[in-house]
Amino acid sequence: MKDFDDENLEFDDDLPELDLSDLDFLDEETTKESKHTQLKKYEEDLDDSEDLAELIKAEAFKALDVPEEPLKVPSKYSLDEDDDDAEYFDYTEDDFDEDDGSKKYKHLGLKIVLGIILFFMAAAAFLVFTKPGRNILTKLAGIWIHDNVNKYVEDDPYWYYPTGVDKDKTGTATIIPLEDPTPTDEELVKVVTKNRSEDYVKTYLLFGIEEIGGAANTDAILLLSVNTKDKRIKLTSLLRDTYVDIPGYYPNKINSVYAHGMKTGETTEEKKMNGGHLLMEVISNTYDIDITGFACVNFNSLEKIVDRLGGLDLELGGTEADYLRRTNYISNPAYRTVVKGWNHMNGNQVLGYCRVRKVATLGGAANDYGRTLRHRRVINAVVQQYKSLSLTDMYFVLQDILGYVVTDLTQEQISELLSDVVENKIFDMDQMRLPADELFRDSGKKGVFNGKYNVTYAIVLDKYREENIKKFHEFVFLDGQEPEITGEADSSGEPVPSGTVTPVATPVASPTAAQAQGQ
């Protein structure tokens, strides 16, 4: 072996330590020439390598003059302590073990991180792209929504009764405080009827309560039906002056029903639930429709909801814009600034807009017809404004809004509603109004006698009731029409209906409707 000056031998401090396990290729039959040949090839292979540990091994081989006789490597990790050249390597077996263990830990940590990332990617794909995964999401969303509604249900007083807050042009009350009637023997026998329902339709009652002067009149009443057959939402407005039968009370206008129901119950929540359930029962019996549950807000809450959304974009006609500027429907005078055309309106302005009925809205509808149209436009504007929010804002805004909502829907029913909408991609909406055009009579100032009082300016169904039910069922249940099959199929293999409809035989009327026709 050639002598060399160790003072001229330089090592890079940043280079990894030598792993002599790679010297195993130097067996006893290897010649000096073949050793140098392999070392040269080894150096060439390291040109493009990023492994500094291999580079220091090559430098070490160059520093050593490899002898002709076999190189003794008595240990897997260190040179023989008797070998003179061993003094030039300040390595111990512990040093090699520590370096090898560090590599293993680094590789293990990288594998763990990659495993976690892959797990979350797979979980996200499962939740979004598979039906069982989406069912989990809608269930969790249903739990979250159910936990956030009914937060402010106890904030309002519970002494609401129907009062004469709605007056005709002479100042006469059009809703009269009622006394409970004394039921006859026939009335004590309650006939239970099953209203129309189909597996592909779920209907929910939505209403807004105007609490002015101690009243609790439901001046905005809508039915939201989710149809999974034609994959559309059906939104039906009910005229608030519709004259209806009220179980346990004399007939009256439909917007007084909720307050009648609130006469029972101990707590505010019980009273509100009873009011909502009585209104559900009256609407179900009047239009022969099964209703799953209800959700409502009072008009004061609507103002807060609109402000939390950041306002709504609504288009006004010239007549209604002028009317809103010069009347007190917009209660804050500073906000009576709306103009013809599109307006970005705050909660106070939107509330005033919803209450107007004495002038025509954009499109020419006046009276209660115009008001119900305004209600539907506001609901659509709420949806559009919410869709424009960022994902982060969507979460926190919805959490705040839900607190103002009073509902009797269970967590399971909320999850089922979400699942129906998500799984069927139901985002389009159709609208109608009940009673339908020319299918009612207006009692006018003369009114209609309910057995004890005259109810003036009421919308009376009478002989038109069955025709309204027929039109309503055609709208919601698709009676008399069936989606045309295109030949395409969805993921489940079922044919996909197109937007075109073709007439089919009208199904048999429900028991309630059939009994009414017989009468």
Helix H or strand E segment including 488: strand 481-489
Report yes or no on 165 lying in a domain: yes
Q: What angle do CA 383, 386, 390 make, to 5 degrees?
A: 150
- All residue ranges of the chain with pLDDT < 50 are 1-4, 9, 15, 18, 25-26, 28, 48-50, 66-81, 86-89, 157-179, 182-185, 187-191, 485-519
Number of domains in the chain: 4
Residues 257 and 335 reside in one and the same domain: no
For the residues of 126-164, what is the DSSP string, one character each? HHHHSHHHHHHHHHHHHHHHHHHSSTTTTSS-S-----T
Kindly report the CATH number assigned to the domain that includes residue 288. Answer: 3.30.420.590
Residues 176 and 280 reside in one and the same domain: yes
Residues 197 and 309 reside in one and the same domain: no
Considering only CA atoms, which of 35, 110, 26, 125 is closest in space to residue 71? 26
Report pLDDT digits (tens) over 419-454: 998 888 898 889 999 999 999 999 998 999 998 889
- Residue pointed to by tokens 């005709």: 168
Question: What is the C-alpha to C-alpha distance for residues 310 and 473, in angstroms, rounded to an integer?
Answer: 37
Q: Is the pTM of this model over 0.75?
A: no
Residues 277 and 417 reside in one and the same domain: yes
Residue ending a domain, choose from 66, 91, 116 = 91
Give me the domain span that covers residue 85.
6-91
Distances in Å between the alpha carbon of 282 and those of 257, 293, 363, 404?
8, 13, 31, 25
Residues 331 and 368 reside in one and the same domain: yes
Question: What is the C-alpha to C-alpha distance for residues 92 and 366, in angstroms, rounded to an integer?
Answer: 96
Considering only CA atoms, which of 477, 487, 519, 485 is closest in space to residue 502? 485
SS3 content of the chain, % helix, strand, coil (to 5): 45, 15, 40
Say what the pLDDT of residue 482 is.
64
Question: What is the C-alpha to C-alpha distance for residues 17 and 89, in angstroms, rounded to an integer?
Answer: 10
Report pLDDT digits (tens) over 41-94: 655 555 544 455 555 666 666 655 544 444 444 444 444 445 555 444 455 555
Residues 153 and 267 reside in one and the same domain: yes
Residues 286 and 161 reside in one and the same domain: yes
Where would I find the H helices in 175-317? 185-188, 257-261, 268-287, 299-309
Residues near 22 by beta carbon (within 8 Å), at least 6 away in sequence: 54, 57
Question: What is the C-alpha to C-alpha distance for residues 258 and 209, in angstroms, rounded to an integer?
Answer: 9
Q: Which amino acid is at 82?
A: D
